[in-house]
């Protein structure tokens, strides 16, 4: 296990990136988790006219400027998916597949792409509904597994599961061509309801039904309430004060995940505040 | 935290006072995280609250009698009576606030 970071930033959209800049300037040891593509939402935006200093630019152009800024500051993004974060009091433990990281403080900047749960999803979480393939794979050895994924990245997990489960059904929720092992049965239909009694036993789709033991739902990000147990949410957003502090000591949040308006410049501003709040917190902890 | 395995031992331990039982398994990651928090709490609340743990793989009956289906799970007992169950990893301060009301009513 590696050394403890001062700060871990989860999310590489404008909020996370802005936080990373400030952490770098304040010379804190930090790690930023996300995507080298930064933010799919930003990349797809046609025209953004209210980001100060960038007029008439497309999302892709602004994204490129962000990338250049990061490069100039020598900031690199760690492309690993954080599955859970445990608030241990004076530090946080981040579970990333088989790895574990530690950080004195964290900034949650995961955006609002975590999707609406399917009917039955929350009810069967832990009873057949899974968000982390690597974590729970052994429990599904020789069982039937259905995987619903929102990103082509996840095809690696699908192939991995096909070596463990007795059968894998794959429901891709993205447009790109699907390239997975031959043994995987691809279903082009929309999931509607997750059913079972004590545990999951069936998935109802719009035009069909499948018997299954496990349902792996691989979205871009997990809802913060699931990601960080004990975190106070306000319906779909993380509750923060003006300093971007959450109810958990050392845990801050910024960007779309803390609320409306969903605007890039607001996210960048909040990332800045969250980072500076984290820096004060780190300095205070280090004094003890 | 003392690890309780036998049914009789368990009944004896929860009989009197406020007892918090930590149901865990050795292969469960969040259980390990929680264990260190509960160790800290048991020191902080020493004399007022007892903390014990039960491995659900070794003591399946105790686990099923207490309706444990997801781990980690913490059950608060008062004088032998099950008062509350907290499922999943929970930050220390939040666990403490759940236990404290039972101390008031002593």
Which percentage of chain B shows pLDDT scores above 70?
99
Question: Does residue A169 sit in the same domain as residue A202?
Answer: yes
Helix or strand holding residue B52 (H, E): strand B49-55
pTM for this model (two decimals):
0.86
Tell me if B37 sits within 8 A of B92, measured CB to CB.
yes
Residues A134 and A168 in one domain: yes
A208 and A228 in a single domain? The answer is no
With respect to residue A120, please indicate whether it lies within any of the assigned structural domains: no
In a domain, A81, yes or no: yes
**Integer angstrom CA distances of residue A95 from A84, A108, A215, A229, B36:** 5, 14, 21, 13, 16
Beta strands A237-238; A233-234: pairing state:
antiparallel
A103: CB partners within 8 A, 6+ apart: A4, A5, A6, A7, A8, A30, A31, A91, A92, A94
Do A142 and A271 fall into the same domain? no
Residue among B33, B56, B91, B92 with most chain A CBs within 10 A, to mutate: B91
Q: What is the per-residue pLDDT across A229-283, written as a single tens digit (0 to 9) for each?
A: 999 999 889 999 999 999 999 999 999 999 999 999 999 999 999 999 999 999 9
pLDDT of residue B101 exceeding 80: yes
Distance set, CA A181 to CA A159, A169, A219 (Å) = 6, 11, 21
Of A161, A185, A218, the residue that ends a domain is A218
Q: How many CB pairs lie under 8 A apart between chains A and B? A: 33
State the CATH number of the domain containing residue A273: 3.50.50.60
Q: Does a structural domain hold residue A122?
A: no
Q: What CATH number labels B2-95? A: 3.40.30.10
Query: ipTM of this model?
Result: 0.89
Q: Which of residues A166, A189, A218 is at a domain's end? A: A218
Q: Looking at the annotation, which residues of B are catalytic?
A: 28, 31
- Give the nearest partner residue to B37 out of A84, A88, A127, using CB atoms: A88
Q: What is the largest CA-CA distance in chain B?
A: 37
**Same domain, residue pair A149 and A243:** no
Residues A10 and A94 in one domain: yes
Are residues A213 and A140 located together in one domain of the fold?
yes
Residue A112 pLDDT: 87
Mutate to test the interface with B, among A89, A95, A102, A250 (most CBs of B within 10 A): A89
Q: Do A164 and A247 sit in the same domain of this protein?
A: no
Number of domains in chain A: 2
The verdict on A49 and A133 lying in the same domain is: no
CB contact under 8 A, A95 and B29: yes
Q: Assess whether A201 and A229 both reside in one domain.
A: no
Tokens 């220390």 belong to: B92
A33 three-class SS: strand
Place of tokens 């988790």: A33
Distance to chain B for A83, nearest Cα, Å: 12
Among A8-17, A123-132, A225-234, B86-95, where is mean pLDDT lowest?
A123-132
A1 pLDDT band (50/70/90 cuts)?
very low
Do residue A127 and residue B69 have CB atoms under 8 angstroms apart? yes
Structural domain boundaries, residue A153: 129-218
pLDDT in tens, A104-131: 999 999 998 767 889 999 888 878 898 8
Q: What is the pLDDT of residues A54-107, one digit of tens each?
A: 988 999 999 999 999 999 999 999 999 898 999 999 999 999 877 899 999 999
Query: Domain-by-domain residue ranges, chain B?
Result: 2-95
Task: Say if A123 falls within a structural domain.
Answer: no
Q: Are residues A13 and A107 in the same domain?
A: yes
**Helix B92-104 / helix B29-44 crossing angle, nearest 10 deg:** 50
Are residues A40 and A176 located together in one domain of the fold? Answer: no
CA angle A278, A29, A134 (to 5 degrees): 90
Chain B: give the shortest CA distance to residue A103, in Å. Answer: 14
């Amino acid at each position: 296990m590696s050394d403890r970071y001062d700060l871990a930033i989860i999310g590489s959209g404008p909020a996370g990136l802005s936080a990373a800049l400030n952490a770098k300037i304040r010379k804190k040891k930090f790690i930023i988790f996300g995507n080298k593509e930064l933010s799919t939402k930003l990349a797809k935006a046609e025209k953004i006219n209210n980001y100060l200093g960038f007029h008439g630019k497309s999302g892709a152009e602004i994204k490129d400027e962000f990338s250049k800024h990061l490069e100039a500051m020598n900031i690199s993004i760690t492309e690993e998916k954080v599955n859970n974060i445990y608030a241990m009091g004076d530090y946080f433990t981040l579970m990333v597949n088989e790895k574990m990281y530690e950080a004195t403080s964290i900034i949650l900047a995961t955006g609002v792409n975590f999707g609406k749960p399917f009917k039955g999803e929350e009810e069967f979480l832990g009873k057949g509904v899974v968000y982390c393939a690597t974590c729970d794979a052994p429990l599904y050895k020789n069982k039937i597994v259905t995987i619903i994924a929102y990103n082509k990245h996840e095809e690696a997990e699908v192939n991995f599961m096909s070596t463990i489960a007795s059968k894998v059904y794959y429901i891709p929720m993205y447009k790109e061509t699907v390239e997975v092992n031959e043994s995987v049965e691809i279903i082009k239909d929309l999931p509607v309801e997750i059913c079972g009694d004590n545990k999951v036993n069936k998935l109802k789709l719009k035009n069909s039904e499948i018997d299954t033991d496990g349902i792996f739902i691989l979205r871009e990000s997990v809802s913060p309430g699931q990601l960080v147990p004990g975190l106070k949410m306000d319906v779909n957003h993380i509750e923060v004060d003006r300093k971007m502090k959450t109810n958990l000591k050392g845990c801050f949040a910024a960007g779309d995940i803390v609320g409306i308006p969903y605007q890039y410049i607001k996210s960048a501003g909040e990332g800045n505040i969250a980072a500076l709040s984290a820096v004060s917190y780190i300095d205070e902890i280090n004094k003890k | 935290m003392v690890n309780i395995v036998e049914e009789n031992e368990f009944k004896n331990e929860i009989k009197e006072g406020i007892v918090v039982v930590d149901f865990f398994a050795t292969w469960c990651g969040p259980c390990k995280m929680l264990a260190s928090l509960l160790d800290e709490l048991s020191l902080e609340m020493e004399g007022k609250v007892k903390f014990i743990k039960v491995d659900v793989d070794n003591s399946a009956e105790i686990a099923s009698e207490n309706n444990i289906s997801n781990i980690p799970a913490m059950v608060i007992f008062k004088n032998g009576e099950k008062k509350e169950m907290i499922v999943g990893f929970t930050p220390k301060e939040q666990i403490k606030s759940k236990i404290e009301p039972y101390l008031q009513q002593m």
